[in-house]
Amino acid sequence: MQQLNNFFINLHGYLGGHEWFVYFLVGTGIFFTIYLRFPQIRYFNHAIKIVKGKFDKKSDKGDTSHFQALTTALSGTVGTGNIAGVALAIHLGGPAALFWMLVTAFLGMCTKFVEVTLSHKYRDFDEKGQVSGGPMYYMKKRLNITLKNNKVIQTGKWLGIFFAAATVLSSFGSGSLPQVVSISDSMFATFGIKHIITGGILSVILALIIIGGIKRIAYVTEKLVPAMAIIYLIGAFGVIFYNYQNIIPSFFSIFKDVFSGTSAVGGFIGASFAFAFNQGVNRGLFSNEAGQGSAPIAHSAARAHEPVSEGMVSILEPFIDTIVICMLTGLVLLSSGVWNEKVKNQFQQTDIQILANSYNSSTSSDVDKIRHHLNGGEKLAVYNGTLNIENGKVIDPVTIIHARSIAENIVIFEKNNPFSGKLEVNTGQFVNLPGSLKIEGESLVHSAQLTTIAFTRSFFGKWGKYIVAIGIMLFAFSTVISWSYYGDRSVTFLFGNKYVIIYRIFFVLAFFFASFTDTTIIWNLSLLTVVFMAIPNLIGILLLRREVKSTIKQYWVDFKKEHPEVKIPEKV
C-alpha cells in the first residue's frame, strides 16, 4: 500500500503537482477573464435573476430547474474540499495557500461559465427525453479535424472518450472514495461509530437515491445544500466571533506572505512561495472543480432554450463554494490558532518520515534544514535499518516527521501496552508495520481532524466537533450523490444506458469499501483523477474560444429583443 501511495505521489509530481499544470489552469482562467471582459463580475447580478427563474419559458427543455442544477453542481463541489481540503492547503502551504485558493476561485468563475455554456449547447436527448451532457459531447461534436478533401478525423470523439473515461475514474477517486473516508473518520472520532457501520448505512441510502436518476438527485440536493450550508455557517461564525481579536490578524496573514511564502511559526515548519502557490491552486481546483469539467454535466440537465443563461448560473458556483465557504473555513482555522499547534494524535503511517539524524524544533538552523527538505530543497538523509524501541520509546538518534512537523513525545503501543522490540525502516518508512501497533505523539494534524479541533475553540465548545462531523457527513455525502450522476452520464456516453446499472452497483460497493481505507492514499489518488479530466477540457474550451464569444453575443441580441425593458450588462 505504501508503494502504491508513493507511485501516486510521484506521478502527481509530473502532472497536477507540477508547475506546468498550475500555470495551465490559472492561465486559462486569466485568458478567458480578459477575453470575455470579466464576465464573473459583469454577469453576477444577472445570474442571480436567472436562478430565481425570472426569465424562464414554459417551452424550455431539460430535466431540472436552474436552481436544481446549481444545487446539484454545488453538492458535487461543496464537499470535503471545503472542510478537509482547506485545512490541508493551510497545513501544507500556510495562510498564503488560502489566498491562492481564492484567486483560483475568482478565475474559475469565468472558466466554469465557458465550460458550462459549451456543454449545455451540445447536450443530447435520448428517446425518452432524458438529457446527457458534459464536455465529452462538445468534444465529440466540435473538435473533429476536417481535411481539405472533406475527410473528417474523429479527434473530438477520442478526446471525448478519454474525458468520459477519466470522469468515470474520477467519480471514484474524487467524488466517492475520499468523501466516505472523511465521513467515516469523522463519525468514528466524534461518535465512536465504526467505519464499516457508517459505510454500510450510507451505502444503502446512496443506492436508494441514485437509482432514481437526476430528477431524484436534484430533488434531494435542492433541499440538502441550503440546509447543510446554514448549519456550517452558524458553526463557522461561532468560532470566528469567539476569537474576534484574531480576525484582523488572520486576514492579514492570508495576504502578507503571498509572494514570499510563510515562515516557520509554532509547529509549522514553513513553506516557500512556490509550494504555497501550488497547494493553493490544486486545492482550489479540488474544491470548486472549475476547469475540471464535472459540473457542466449537472448544468447540462437544466431547463433552458439556450446555453448561455445556464453558463451564467454556474458563475455563482465557485463563488459560493470557495470564496464564501472555503474562506470561512480558512478564517476558522487561522483565528482559532490551531493550524500551527502540535496536538496529541495517532500517527498515520503514510504521513511519517524518519530522518537519520536528530533535529531540534527549538533550533532555527535545524528548522531551516527540515523546511528545505520538505519544500523541495536540499534533502536530508533518511533512516535505513532497524529502530530499537524500549517501553514504547525510540532510543536511536533519529527524528520522526509526522504531518510535516517534528513529532514529539512519541510512544509506540502494541494492543494499548508500550511496545518493546525492533522495527525495520527502509528509506525513512516503516516496513511491514504490524497492525497491532499504533504510534501516538504530538505533531501538527491536517484535513478534517484539524478543522474539528478548530471548531471546538468557539462559543459551542466541545459541541463544535459535532457541527464538523455533521457538516462533513452532509457535505461529503451530497458530493457522492452528484458524482454518481457524473459517472453514469459518462458511462452512457461510452457504452450506452444499459450499462449504467452496472456502474451504479460498482459505485456503491466502492463507496462502502472505501469507508475503512487509509485517508492519505485516497487523497493522492483523487489528485490524479482531477488532472485527467481537466487537461482535455481546458484544451477543448481554448480551441472553441471564438464560438463561446459569438454565442454570448447572440444571447444578448436575442435577450434584448425579448426583454427590451431590462438593462443589460453587455454592449451588443
Q: Residue 450 domain-assigned?
A: no
Residues 241, 50 contacting (CB under 8 angstroms): no
Cα–Cα distances in angstroms (integers) from residue 40 to residues 6, 36, 309, in the given order = 39, 9, 13
- DSSP states of 396-433: SS-EEEETTEE-EEEEEEETTEE--EEEEEETTEESS-
At residue 340, what are phi and psi to the nearest 5 degrees? -120, 20
pTM: 0.87
Domain boundary among 443, 470, 497: 443
Are 206 and 250 contained in the same domain? yes
Same domain, 418 and 535: no
Residue 448 lies in a domain: no
Task: Give me the residues paired with residue 386 across strands.
Answer: 424
Considering the domain architecture, whether residues 201 and 267 belong to the same structural domain is answered as yes
Contact 448, 468 (CB under 8 A): yes
Question: What span, in angstroms and rounded, lies between the C-alpha atoms of 46 and 93?
Answer: 36
| Integer angstrom CA distances of residue 243 from 33, 91, 265, 343 | 37, 20, 19, 19
Domain extent for 355: 343-443
Q: How far is CA 320 from CA 224, 399, 466, in A?
A: 15, 42, 23
- The pLDDT value recorded for residue 186 is 80
**Does one domain contain both 238 and 337?**
yes
Provide the pLDDT for residue 572: 43
Q: What angle do CA 287, 290, 296 make, to 5 degrees?
A: 115
* DSSP assignments along 375-396, one per residue: TTSSPPPBP-EEEEEETTEE-S
Q: pLDDT tens per residue, the chain (572 residues)?
A: 667 777 777 877 777 667 788 889 889 999 999 999 999 999 999 999 999 999 999 888 898 999 999 999 998 888 777 888 899 889 989 999 999 999 999 999 999 999 999 999 999 987 777 889 999 999 999 998 877 777 878 889 999 999 999 999 888 887 888 788 878 888 887 888 999 999 999 999 999 999 888 889 988 989 988 998 899 999 999 999 999 999 999 999 999 888 888 888 888 988 888 888 888 887 887 778 888 999 999 999 999 999 999 999 999 999 999 899 999 999 999 999 999 999 999 998 889 999 999 998 888 899 999 999 988 788 999 999 999 999 999 999 999 999 999 999 999 999 889 999 999 999 999 998 888 899 999 999 988 889 989 999 999 998 998 998 898 888 889 989 999 999 999 999 999 988 999 999 999 998 998 888 765 666 677 678 888 899 999 999 999 999 999 999 999 999 999 998 888 876 54
213 and 151 in one domain? yes
Flag whether 71 is in a domain: yes
State whether 80 and 177 are in the same domain.
Answer: yes
Q: Which of 412, 443, 474 is the last residue of a domain?
A: 443
Please indicate, yes or no, if residue 400 is contained in any of the structural domains.
yes
Identify whether residues 293 and 409 lie together within a single domain.
Answer: no
Q: Tell me, what's the pLDDT at 523? A: 65
Predicted confidence at residue 5, as pLDDT, reads: 72
Q: Are residues 173 and 86 in the same domain?
A: yes
Nearest to 541, CA basis, from 336, 194, 291: 291
Residue 399 has a pLDDT of 96
User: What does the angle CA 273 – CA 277 – CA 278 come to, to the nearest 5 degrees?
Assistant: 120
Q: Phi-psi bin for 316: left (phi > 0), alpha (psi -120 to 50), beta?
A: alpha
Amino acid at 54: K
> Is the separation of the CB atoms in 401 and 430 below 8 Å?
no
Q: Per the domain annotation, does 10 fall within a domain? A: yes
Query: Would residue 570 count as lying in a domain?
Result: no
Tell me the angle at which helices 519-543 and 95-121 cross, rounded to the nearest 10 degrees: 50
Q: H or E element: which one contains 343? A: strand 343-346
Residue that finishes a domain, picked among 443, 470, 490: 443
Same domain, 337 and 472: yes
Residues 188, 307: one domain? yes
> Do 337 and 365 have their domain in common?
no
- Angle (CA) 473-479-485 rounded to 5° is 140
Residue at 70 is within a domain:
yes
Question: How many domains, the chain?
Answer: 2
d(CA 561, CA 555) in angstroms, rounded, equals 10
- Which CATH number belongs to the domain containing residue 71 in this structure? 1.20.1740
Does 11 share its domain with 104? Answer: yes
How big is the CA angle at 449 (ends 353 and 324), to the nearest 5 degrees? 120
Name the pairing type of β-strands 145-146 and 421-426.
unpaired
From the list 221, 201, 223, 204, the residue with the least C-alpha distance to 213 is 221
| CB within 8 Å of 340: residues ≥ 6 apart | 265, 266, 267, 268, 444
Query: Measuring CA to CA, which residue among 337, 408, 292 is closest to residue 90?
Result: 337
Give the distance between the most distant pair of CA atoms in the chain.
82
Quote the CA–CA distance of 434 and 403 in Å, as a whole number: 21
Domain contains 569: no
Kindly state the cell numbers that stand for 1: 500500500
Q: Which of 66, 110, 128, 67 is nearest to 304 (CA)?
A: 66
Closest C-alpha among 359, 371, 305, 310 to residue 94: 371
Question: Which helix or strand (DSSP H or E) is residue 113 part of?
Answer: helix 95-121
Edge-to-edge order in the sheet of strand 429-430: 393-394, 385-390, 421-426, 429-430
pLDDT of residue 358: 93
Mind giving me the DSSP string for 182-216?
HHHHHHHHHH---HHHHHHHHHHHHHHHHTTHHHH
